Chain A
């Protein structure tokens, strides 16, 4: 699951995660983040580097 907020500054970033994930399929991630108002690098790295593992764990739950 995507972290609810940025670890560093505390801005809520999880509400744009699903849109971000869809849009990066045909857009450049940096530009998508600009469009979503994720401006600081502390917040950007959370979305950029997140690996959604919950589906991979699901069969073993």
Chain B
């Protein structure tokens, strides 16, 4: 064996040590429709926290940001209606949209002709882009009620109506929770469990607007971009 090949071998060993001891390892434990659990090992808590915070505050998604109300004779105030609309998760295709894209969603509903009610659901929103739709169909937005009123011998029906145009935009969780793509997003120490010593169990639950895998990937990408911009700033000056 020459001196040179011994050196290469030594380097390889060190590299293997680095991989085994210092590099991160990800093992998926559980995967549901809207939830993923994975064990992160080989990283410090601060790294997992940075990833968690990136998922909560930095990953963009669509949400209704502005509502033009043409008519609202329902029992909810305009602002209550707007708040409920904003909280509806909208399916977001991150690759396809740019930061200042806007989407219009129209909603029109009337209570019945006779005494009774109509429940207005999230699926009734008519979107300008067929891909932008409510992630959950059956979110009740408002109940429109027709009431019978009797004045002397005259019976009349008071009907309720809503007619509005909602504008959806991309935003980030750091600005408003309606733009937060995750609900429960946390990590915990798995010290007690012999199998994963010195590892963290990360739980990510999405709100339905983005697939969970995409949220984790995008958060990691954002972290990398931030780190790269630091290097760029340092090398350019």
Contact = CB atoms under 8 A, between A and B. Distances in A.
* Chains A and B belong together in one complex: yes
B127 interface: no
Contacts of B88: 4, 12
9 contacts: A4-B139, A6-B183, A10-B177, A11-B205, A12-B208, A40-B184, A58-B75, A61-B147, A61-B160
Contacts of B122: 15
Given A15-B138, A61-B160, 16 more contacts: A2-B140, A10-B177, A10-B183, A11-B207, A12-B89, A12-B135, A12-B208, A15-B136, A15-B137, A15-B139, A40-B184, A54-B145, A55-B143, A55-B145, A58-B75, A58-B147
Interface of A: 1-2, 4-6, 9-12, 14-15, 17-18, 40, 54-55, 57-59, 61
Interface of B: 75-76, 84, 87-89, 119, 122, 135-140, 142-143, 145, 147, 158, 160, 177, 180, 182-184, 205, 207-208
B36 to A, nearest CB: 15
